Amino acid sequence: MFIRKSILSLVAASLATIAVAQEMPKDTTYWKKKKEFGLNFNQGSFSNSWQGGGVNNYGFGSFFNAKAEYLKDRDNWTNDFQSQFGFQKIKGQDFRKSIDRIFFDSKYGRRLGKGPDGKWFFVANFNFLSQFANGFDYNYTYKDGTSPRMAGFLAPMFLTEAVGVEWKPTKFFNLNFMPGAVRHTILADKNMYQDIDQKNLTQVEAGKDPFDFKNYGVTRGKAVRTEVALMQLVANFDKDIAKNVNLKFRYQAFASFSDLAAIDNRLDAKLTAKINRYLNFSFDLIALYDQDQVNKIQFAQAMGLGFLYTF
């Protein structure tokens, strides 16, 4: 009887403990989370009698961003996901993408020193960068009307692992110094360059320069190229620079041991201005210099007016 009562008492106590635990809210005070979803649309049309020139067109763009940051004592863990995709349709042409980006960055930091106001952290970082859809070089056209394919889904994609130190003087800006960072350039479609090689380049429109596709530095016929950096430098800025106006940018410099004279530079910037609760204006800019792609600075820019939902 005693054993039976003891077991019943233990079961009752356990059930009571579980009930109390379920009622207690989980401690989420160390997490800061933010998600954004946006759509924008632009359009232009001209009558046949319009004398100022112009071609009927319309465009559509979207983005989804999510960020979660954990901050407790000396530990800081930030996960940042960003995605953008847009296309444009001009009369007489096929659909063409206007912006395309998949970005994920995960960074763990440990504050150096015991003071709560320390500005230096030891950091370990993983970064992923790629795109959703096929991309073509429309500067070149073959007789059949097609253009060389330059990119595809997850081709290329860039994976970077790095450790180093971070200087974080404010909540909205940080600068990372990462010696020995490792970057993998991966072509999910390792035969993508054959779309170019299997065609006769003499069919390129007259007046165009000879075409040279560098395959993002990956040896043709292979899928992966791995580089080690003497130094990787990353700067992040995210701040409301005016009421309802946010500026976010990420700058990255990668100096590979394979060619220290050819430093890769990339800037991703986004300006968002909220007009009201659901309408916003956005301006996106990507600037890139990578000699494994082309010996020129590359720019991509997009503007849009549309819907923004933050949750």
Per-residue HEC secondary structure of 48-69 comes to CCCCCCCCCEEEEEEEEEEEEE
User: Could you report the per-residue pLDDT of 206-251, keeping only the tens digit for each?
Assistant: 455 556 678 899 988 889 999 999 999 999 999 999 999 999 999 9
Asked if 5 and 12 count as a contact pair (C-beta separation under 8 A), the reply is: no
| CATH of segment(s) 29-310 | 2.40.230
For residue 131, what pLDDT band results from cuts at 50, 70 and 90?
very high
Pairwise CA distance, residues 23 & 102, whole Å? 39
- What is the pTM for the complete model shown? 0.84
For residue 28, what pLDDT band results from cuts at 50, 70 and 90?
low
What is the pLDDT, as a whole number, of residue 230?
A: 95
Pairwise CA distance, residues 96 & 58, whole Å? 11
The percentage of residues in the chain with a pLDDT greater than 70, rounded to a whole number, is 85
Q: Angle at the Cα of 197 (from 192 to 203), degrees rounded to 5?
A: 125
167-179 b/e with 16+ CB inside 10 Å = b? ebeeeeebebebe
Hey, what amino acid is at 184?
Answer: H
What residue ranges do the domains of the chain occupy?
A: 29-310
User: Could you report the per-residue pLDDT of 92-109, keeping only the tens digit for each?
Assistant: 788 889 889 999 999 999
If one compares 272 and 210, the residue with the highest pLDDT of the two is 272
Pairwise CA distance, residues 133 & 42, whole Å? 21
Give the DSSP letter string of 11-29. Answer: HHHHHHHHHHHHHSPP--T
What is the pLDDT, as a whole number, of residue 241?
A: 96
Of these ranges, 10-24, 40-54, 277-291, the one predicted with the greatest mean pLDDT is 277-291
